Amino acid sequence: MCGIAGKLLFDCDGRVSRDQIEAMLRPIAHRGPDGQGIHLDGCVGLGHCRLSIIDLSTGDQPMANEDETVWIVFNGEIYNYLALREQLLAKGHQFKTQSDTEVIIHAYEEYGFDCLRHLRGMFAFAIWDHKNRRLFVARDRVGIKPLYYCQTPGVLYFASELKAIIADPAVSREISAPALRQFFSFFYLPGEDTLFRSVRKLLPGHYLLVEGGKVTRHRYWDLQFTHERWGRSFEDVVEELYGLLGSTVRDHMIADVPVGVLLSGGVDSSAVLSFAVQGTEKKVKTFTVGFDGDQVVDERPYARMAAQRFGTEHYDLSITAEDFWNFLPSYVWHMEEPVCEPPAVALYYVSKFARQYVKVLLSGEGGDEAFAGYPNYPNMLRLDGIRRALGPVARPVGAVAALAGALLGDGRVRRYGDALGRPLADVYFSRTSSPTTFFNRSARRFFTPEFLAASSSSSAANSMADLLRPAAGWPLLDQMLYADTKTWLPDDLLIKADKITMANSLELRVPLLDHVVMEFAASLPSEYKVRGKDTKRALKAAFAKALPQEILNRKKAGFPVPYGGWLSHDFAAGVRETLLSDRARNRGYFEPQEVNRLLDSHCQSGQFPKEIFSLLVVELWHRQFVDSDNSLTKSGVA
């Protein structure tokens, strides 16, 4: 696990300097405190900061092949590298190290761009092919590792984090109003856009080629819902799944440094732990975080239950409202993109604590997206059943239901009533948004006319419709899982998982998002995942005997962070001061009186925590990344 950065000049006579690459590496040094390396070859410069996990003594980067004509900088882990290494040795390749990095180099020499199909793991890398004067930049299938790039008329930049790219003063920091509007629809930024017009995310399952000044983007993988296992019994599928997860977790335990498990008290992380304890002779360390207070759902008792079941060395901690507030500027700095993900603050504190004991953590992230664990899945399936039963009258019935929900003040009735008779893309919005959410419903009065005009090309519904086009004709559950896997998962959850743990120089591994596991889950019929109100059926059945029943049968709680109350009571004055400051007003995005009204409403009802948190994140983001006020990370919010 590391940080990578690089710069390529399209003018072959140009030269990239060491100072330029050092400047890119400086803001991402936390990703790799164990070493730094730079390779310069005229018009190209590659930079790497290393967090040593495998082959501690000889795995330094940038790394080259035998004759130093192929160079790589790599962030991630290749879990099948030992098997690949044996295959490549049999084909005559010679190795200088025991690292997974060198396996990628030789796989590229042997298979070309198809080397990606041979890699099983999480990765973002760049290969400079000196002979062919070609740059090959790739990101893993699911998007576990981030990768940003910026193309100008004469230069291509790439990096693990956005701030490494904008470290070059030549990169424009012009804001994309449509992207900002998308954020307020989704509460994160789906797809390849960032808030800077000039910087983009390389999509999961894609690679870039740069040759002769031409940049092309290619997709090498997409999740397909094939239903190969339609004819197999539920019991046979469960048995196969158990074996697959066991081998996958064992592969994810490979490291030359201590490995622990991040416990949430849910099925997914407990399932990962059940195999992790089998993959080592040492006592596994487990970690969890919670919040104190009468109104808070505390995950820690369930995490302790799992830790006791599997005999781990368990640690837990709690964070306070003050911890949350003090970390917000740093949260924005490390996340880089505006994301409404308050649990990331808790993740920061628990990973900081865990870093005292381990260098690698396993997590259960992704189980809900792979095996259908969220309650919205059965809810939408039930609505779809009603819609099909009503046929042509679904639309007027939906309008009546939505109206009733509005009159009764019941957001769930309004939201689900609105769904009847409308296309999935119009209402689903990757799980987190819909036309009935505040920023979409109140756009014309909340945003300024100037901002609405500048962002008029933005449409969350159109974005989702484009995304769902490859899934046309699939069963409804598959469409929802596909949408979440392409948006919410990489652009919210995995950004949080990578950047917040790497802020503490800690590697987080996610076995349930191994692409082979994802493909297995996608091959299952819908009823093997959801039946009635039951979610994650196959996964829960696989661990029915291994996990405590209290964990298997508990209601889905997510990770409940009580930030709404903190923002409306503990830090209401600081929130108001920040959002109604002259700086915030002068950005011209919002009508100040509407912001004030929203704050008043939240203080009275506690109804708008996401909206308040998102506004706060956007303002702090502008201060750090546009105003360059990095003192915020040291001095607090207000």
**Residues marked as catalytic:** 2
The upper half-sphere exposure of residue 517, i.e. CA atoms within 13 Å in the direction of its Cβ, equals 30
Kindly write down the DSSP assignment for every residue of 425-441, as one continuous string.
Answer: HHHHGGGT--TTSHHHH
103 near 84, Cβ under 8 Å? yes
Paired tokens of 171: 């990169």
The CA distance from 633 to 466, in Å, is 38
Integer Cα distance of 566 and 207 in angstroms: 42
Q: How far apart are CA 554 and CA 306, in angstroms?
A: 13
Instruction: Quote the distance between the C-alpha of residue 185 and its chain's center.
Output: 18
Gap between the Cα atoms of 367 and 518, Å rounded: 9
Sign, CA dihedral 171-177-178-181, equals positive
What is the arrangement of strands in the sheet containing 44-50, beginning at the earlier edge strand?
35-41, 44-50, 2-9, 155-159, 148-151, 199-201
C-alpha closest to that of 307 among 273, 339, 333, 280: 273
Would you call 361 helix, strand, or coil by DSSP?
Answer: strand
Nearest to 6 by CA among 215, 18, 14: 18
- Answer whether the bond into residue 62 is a cis peptide, omega within 30°: yes
267 within 8 A of 62, measured Cβ to Cβ: no
Structure-token match 């923002």, residue found: 567
How far is Cα 322 from Cα 316, in angstroms, rounded to an integer?
18
Q: Between β-strands 507-509 and 360-362, what pairing exists: parallel, antiparallel or unpaired?
A: parallel
Query: For residue 277, which amino acid is it?
Result: V
**Which residues are paired to 49 by β-bridges?**
3, 36
Q: How many CB atoms lie within 10 A of CB 152?
A: 13
Q: Contact, 116 vs 94, CB < 8 A?
A: no
Cβ-based neighbours of 130, under 8 Å, separated by 6 or more: 41, 68, 69, 70, 71
3-state helix, strand, coil in the chain (%, to 5): 50, 15, 35
The answer to whether residues 379 and 418 touch, using CB atoms and an 8 Å cutoff, is no
User: Are the beta carbons of 316 and 616 closer than 8 angstroms?
Assistant: no
Q: How wide is the angle at C-alpha 149 spanned by C-alphas 21 and 116, nearest 5°?
A: 100
> What is the residue type of 452?
L
β-pairing verdict for 121-129 and 134-139: antiparallel
Whole-angstrom distance, CA of residue 366 vs CA of residue 373: 9
How far is 121 from 119, CA to CA, in rounded Å? 6
